[in-house]
Each structure stands twice: as C-alpha cells, then as structure tokens.
Amino acid sequence: MLRKFYASSLALMVVTGLAAQPALAETPDQVLASIRGEAEKATPGFQGFSAARGEKFFKATHGNELSCTSCHTENPAAQGKHAKTGKAVQPLAPSASAERFSDPAKVEKWFKRNCNDVLGRVCTAQEKGDVLAYLLTIQK
Amino acid sequence: MLNYQNFPHVLAVAVLAMGVAMSAAQADENRGGKYGGEDRGKPLQPAQANARWQEECSGCHIAYAPGLLPAESWRRAMDGLGKHFGTDASLTAGENKEITDFLVNNASNRWRAPTAPLRITESGWFKRKHDSREVPPDVWKNPLVKSPANCQACHTQAERGDFSERNIKLPK
C-alpha cells in the first residue's frame, strides 16, 4: 500500500519535473559536446577546441567592420548593444546569463546569422567550438 | 420565358446597383486619401500576439506591431530575411510561415494605396505624424534616438504596441 503510494507519487514528480523543463533544454556542456561531434566528423585531424583561439576569433574582424564584439562587447559577461539598432543584448557568457547555450536550435540560428554578418559565411564546427570553449572560461 | 416588359426594370436595378457600387468606391477613395492611402491599422491587442513573432522579431529591435504596415509589406519583408536591412535574420521555413501568417492576418486594414514599403518609417502616416511640427528636427540627431526605427527612444511603451500620446517622452 505504502509502496504503491510511493511509486505513484514518484511517477507524478517525474512527470511534473519534465513538464517544468523548457522544450529540449540542454546545458552549455551538452551543446559543446554536440559541436565536438560535428567537428570530429568535419575536421580532418581534429585536435580539440581551444579557448585561446576562440578568444582571438571573437575579438578579431574578418573582412568587414564587424566583429563579435561589435554587439557582444569585449567582455562577454557584460550586457551588449546591437551595433545597428542600439538594442540591449543580454550577456553571451553562460556564467552571466543562464539561458545562453541551453537551446541548441537557438544557438545554431544565431551562429548562422552572426557568422554571416561578420565573416560573410557560416562558421565551421571548429570555430563554433572554440568560441564556446572561450565563453565557458569567462567568469562573471 | 423572357418577359420584355420587365426589361426596363432590370435595367433600372442594374444602373442603381452600379451607382451604389460607384459611390461606395468614391467614399473609399476619399477615406483612402488619408496619408495618401498609407494609413496604419488598429493597435494589436496583447491577447492576439503570436508568441513566435514576439520571440523571433524582438532580438534586434522591438517587435514592430503588424498593423503598422500593409500585408504586402510583411510578405516582402518575410521573403527577404536572409538579407534584412544589411543583416541575416533568417528563420526556418516553418517559423517563417507561422510568423508571415500572423503578420498578414493582422496587417493594416486602412491601407488603400498600392504601395508596400519595407520600412514603417517610410510610410505616409509615419512621415505625417513625425514631421517637423510634431518632432523638432534636432531630436532625430540625439544619439539616444540613433534611428527613426528606434521607436522606444520616444514611445516608452512601444514594445507593447502602445504609441499613445501620453506615453511619449522625447529624449533630452
């Protein structure tokens, strides 16, 4: 009797726990792991990601006047500002805004858009992984 | 069996109907004269807002209310998101369709001109409401304004689609 009660309340807790999660939420580490999977397939002789390379990539311009810092600032833990519209952009570092890198579809969408704006092409898995490795080293 | 005696009646009714149709068109013409036919529609009620539009169209600027432009403008804008005012704002096909439907269904219902500008700030009603009588020219040069598309610089409740006069505050 008691056991039955336990089992059903446990089931209920599991169900409500699931419902409270946003759809397909992941941690930044899980997102990094799936980018790694992509990079292993796409990069011959893949050597892993480098936060130092990610930082350089993030702060450099790549052929036009924009860099990632144009909207996300030199400090990814700080609030940014859209270079064209002036709208506030929440910090990019997961340590400073909890929702960052928790929705893989959103991450993909913005990498595609922002890389197109800054580099005139999509970023490689290597570049995306390096950037995320860098952002994960940023402390608030 | 055709009754020729009735013919004048039929003709009279037809002429009358044409007359009614024509005066309705004329009335439309007069009403459509406002802002050269480029008039905005009614404000969107919060309950009508589409969550995906709210999410996807507010990343770089406020989500501009659908009633500010005619349906054809929204179709054009949604067709060119890959090159949207110099930036890539592309969506998946599914997201694009859902948002396009929402914008088109709630577009301005008072727009009579055959025009479809991509910018709200280029429409007749906008230019008239923001001419030098309403907004002193040096306000536009204020760095806090930056662009006329930056509605919330002056309309403190723009994000909620509220542009009423009591919520206007020009930046100093």
pLDDT at residue B160, as a whole number: 86
Q: Place B24 in a pLDDT band, splitting at 50, 70 and 90.
A: very low
How far is B81 from B90, CA to CA, in rounded Å? 5
| Residue A84 touches chain B, beta carbons under 8 Å | yes
Q: Do A85 and B86 touch (CB under 8 A)?
A: no
| Residue A4 touches chain B, beta carbons under 8 Å | no
CB neighbour list of residue B60: distance below 8 Å, 6 or more residues apart:
A82, A84, A85, A87, B87, B89
| Residue A82 touches chain B, beta carbons under 8 Å | yes
Q: What is the DSSP letter of A124?
A: P
Q: Place A25 in a pLDDT band, splitting at 50, 70 and 90.
A: confident
Contact B91, B99 (CB under 8 A): yes
Q: What tokens appear for B92 in the block?
A: 């998946």
Q: What is the DSSP letter of B128?
A: H
- For A114, A134, B36, the CA distances from A75, given in Å and listed in that order, are 17, 11, 48
With CA atoms as reference, the chain A residue closest to B149 would be A85
How far is A132 from A138, CA to CA, in rounded Å? 10
CATH number for the A24-135 domain, one of 1.10.3720.10, 1.10.760.10, 3.40.30.10, 3.40.190.10? 1.10.760.10
Identify how many contiguous H helices and E strands chain B contains and give both numbers: 6, 0
Q: Do B85 and A84 touch (CB under 8 A)?
A: yes
Q: What is the DSSP letter of B87?
A: B
pLDDT at residue A3, as a whole number: 52
Mean pLDDT within A52-65: 97
B168: β partners:
B155
pLDDT at residue A82, as a whole number: 95
Report helix, strand or coil for B52.
helix
Predicted model pTM:
0.86
Mean pLDDT within A108-136: 98
How far is B134 from B31, CA to CA, in rounded Å? 23
With CA atoms as reference, the chain A residue closest to B63 would be A87
* B116-126 pLDDT, tens digit each: 999 999 999 99
Chain B residues whose CB is inside 8 A of the A86 CB are 146-147, 150
A-B C-beta contacts closer than 8 Å:
31
Q: What tokens appear for A85 in the block?
A: 């519209």
Mean pLDDT within B92-100: 97
- From the candidates B57, B62, B81, B88, which should be mutated to test the interface with A, based on the most A CB atoms within 10 A? B88
How far is A123 from A105, CA to CA, in rounded Å? 15
Q: Do A112 and B60 touch (CB under 8 A)?
A: no
How far is A15 from A33, CA to CA, in rounded Å? 27
Q: CA quadruple B80, A89, B68, B95: dihedral positive or negative?
A: positive
Which of A87, A109, A113 comes nearest B61 by C-beta? A87
Mean pLDDT within A116-140: 97
When the pLDDT of each residue in chain A is averaged and rounded to a whole number, the result is 88
Measure CA of the first residue to CA of the last residue in chain B; give whole Å.
Answer: 80
- From the candidates A87, A92, A110, A121, which should be mutated to test the interface with B, based on the most B CB atoms within 10 A? A87
Domain ranges of chain A: 24-135
How far is A72 from A76, CA to CA, in rounded Å? 6
